Structure 1
């Protein structure tokens, strides 16, 4: 029993000597580390995929119901303003026009008859041969007949205008993106049968994720997919509400280049640099300088030959770089390699 106690005591003494030797070794030979200085950094670049759209794109439809009897254009065709694209069967409208003309002729004849009756009664009334009531009735009938003429004239004008609506014309110069109307198809008023992209400025349409919506940059670069074509782009509009399905915002960036270089419908990449509200206070450092031992992300700040743990906010990473926010000023030295081997307060040797 006594021999066992002496053995345990000896082991304890040896362990104590070992710890003291290790501690002394750490003091005499501190670990060598490389440091970097925190530098102010711009937010990282990020991209969105989109496609080229015309600044003005119009959905076209007839103002009348009817059956399409002519289709004069095809999708992708360039058209000039006032070109006829499709036409409706005009027979119904022609009959309505004939009816309106006949109604106007009848109204005029009734008005002439009513006016003649008024004039005859006026002559008899002046000689006191008819009651006043009879004359007043004649005056009222003549006025009503004139109003009927005006109504018939308005109906005729509507019928003449409707005859013009039988033809669907291009409202401006442009390219037809889509033509869905076909001969024999019966359409309702306002039903879309063609889509026209007006000539002029082109834009890129993208959908912005919810986390990127706030402070969306107003400037960027648009790159044509599969090519070297690129141009600056500026934010023109953002949808007022998120898409209920994707929870993303539709945004349009105007392409500041010749529209001929950007075919409609082309796939493009929009390159953006961070969010406008993320530029202040951001710093850049190697990704290897970050450490997380279960107490949050941080860095080892080297001060007076020793390291101390400083918590930071990780904003973004890309490849071998990280963007952070911290309470440390720019130029502060932090350990860049070997961060997992260090302890708070440990002495280190900074390599040149």
Structure 2
């Protein structure tokens, strides 16, 4: 019995020691700083703060027929330049021609009735003057004449309408422009108002750019911009800010900005890719190019981990990316020169976590 008690006591001591060791290991694991790679951010010297965009028309219209019909011809295609009054497409005018001829016949009939009513009214007036016809006959003749006159006016209006609709069989260009899309083919039935093609005016062009929300908030309408053609940076133009999107995109946190070109340059064709740069000194901000691996995407927002060398801990900091090029992310403003950020394993860190880093590395 005594031996059994000794064995139980020994086992209890061993279990207690094992539990203490496990708890100590867990505590030790929690307090061990995690090794991370970090860099010290530095602003780019003499770096233009540019944003990529495309050239778009300020005005473009969807063209379609005003009446129902079958498309029998289309004279233009995508990319064709059109002049005011140029024929674009046509529908089968047979039904419209029949309507015109029917209206012409109705007008001829109404005119014949008017002539008959006019002659009858003249005869009754003569007989009334000789006191052969009574007042009732004269009133009836005058009423018939007025009705016949109104019938002629109605028939003439119907004929004018039919001829106007006959003109709708041909689709023409209202202004000079270029065809940017075609939505109907020959032989297809098109309804009134259905889009057949889209024509963009080329006289007023705009650079359409998506700019980070933080930068867009500092812009004002009318601010000047320099516009550079990406295919040939030597080709430049100037423009003024016309419109700023009222709301930032939920996914990219950018606003759409439209900059109207001061002059129409042929090299800036519709759809051409351009770079726009603010020309006002007040818009200049520090530009930081950081590794794209340093970005943490969470809940539709972008963060970086700022490392505090004094405490050896990290904290998340929200940023907005202006551009991503060749594994680099461009941050305009927001960061501070000399700040240290984590560039590897950003998805495995937590707020306030202790880390270990080499102060001499990646400076």
Instruction: Give TM-score, length-normalised by structure 2.
Output: 0.60
Q: What residue is the counterpart of 1:69 in the other structure? A: 72
Q: What residue is the counterpart of 2:155 in the other structure? A: 152
**Residue range with higher mean Cα deviation, 51-60 or 146-155:** 51-60
Instruction: Give yes or no for contact 2:235–2:267 (8 Å, CA) kept in 1.
Output: no
Which residue, out of 159, 174, 178, partners 1:175? 178
Q: Deviations over 1:188-228 (max 9, x none)?
A: 22222112223423221224454444342511222223432
SS of the counterpart of 1:112? helix
Inter-partner Cα distance in structure 1 for 2:72 and 2:250: 39
Q: What residue is the counterpart of 1:197 in the other structure? A: 200
Which residue, out of 238, 245, 257, partners 1:251? 257
Q: Deviations over 1:17-49 (max 9, x none)?
A: xxxxxxxxxxxxxxxxxxxxxxxxxxx964433
SS of the counterpart of 2:333? strand
Inter-partner Cα distance in structure 1 for 2:145 and 2:244: 59
Q: Deviations over 1:115-137 (max 9, x none)?
A: 12211221222233333233212
Q: What residue is the counterpart of 2:269 in the other structure? A: 263
Q: CA deviation at 1:262?
A: 1.0
Instruction: Give yes or no for contact 2:179–2:198 (8 Å, CA) kept in 1.
Output: yes
Which runs of structure 2 are paired with 1:178-327 in the superposition (5 Å)? 178-217=181-220, 218-238=223-243, 241-242=246-247, 249-272=255-278, 316-317=333-334, 320=337
SS of the counterpart of 2:146? helix
Q: What residue is the counterpart of 2:127 in the other structure? A: 124
Inter-partner Cα distance in structure 2 for 1:245 and 1:153: 59
Q: CA deviation at 1:96?
A: 0.8
Q: What residue is the counterpart of 1:302 in the other structure? A: none
Which runs of structure 2 are paired with 1:36-51 in the superposition (5 Å)? 46-51=49-54
Mark the CA change 1:291 to 1:231 in structure 2 (over 3 Å): closer, same or farther.
Answer: farther
Instruction: Give yes or no for contact 1:233–1:253 (8 Å, CA) kept in 2.
Output: no
Gaps of 5+ in 1: 1-43, 285-289, 298-314, 323-340, 342-352
Mark the CA change 1:252 to 1:91 in structure 2 (over 3 Å): closer, same or farther.
Answer: same
Instruction: Give yes or no for contact 2:237–2:262 (8 Å, CA) kept in 1.
Output: yes
Inter-partner Cα distance in structure 1 for 2:109 and 2:281: 72
Mark the CA change 1:94 to 1:240 in structure 2 (over 3 Å): closer, same or farther.
Answer: farther
Q: CA deviation at 1:245?
A: 6.8
Q: CA deviation at 1:95?
A: 0.7
Instruction: Give TM-score, length-normalised by structure 1.
Output: 0.62
Instruction: Give yes or no for contact 2:216–2:244 (8 Å, CA) kept in 1.
Output: no
Inter-partner Cα distance in structure 2 for 1:120 and 1:150: 24
Q: What residue is the counterpart of 1:114 in the other structure? A: 117
Greater Cα radius of gyration, structure 1 or 2: 1
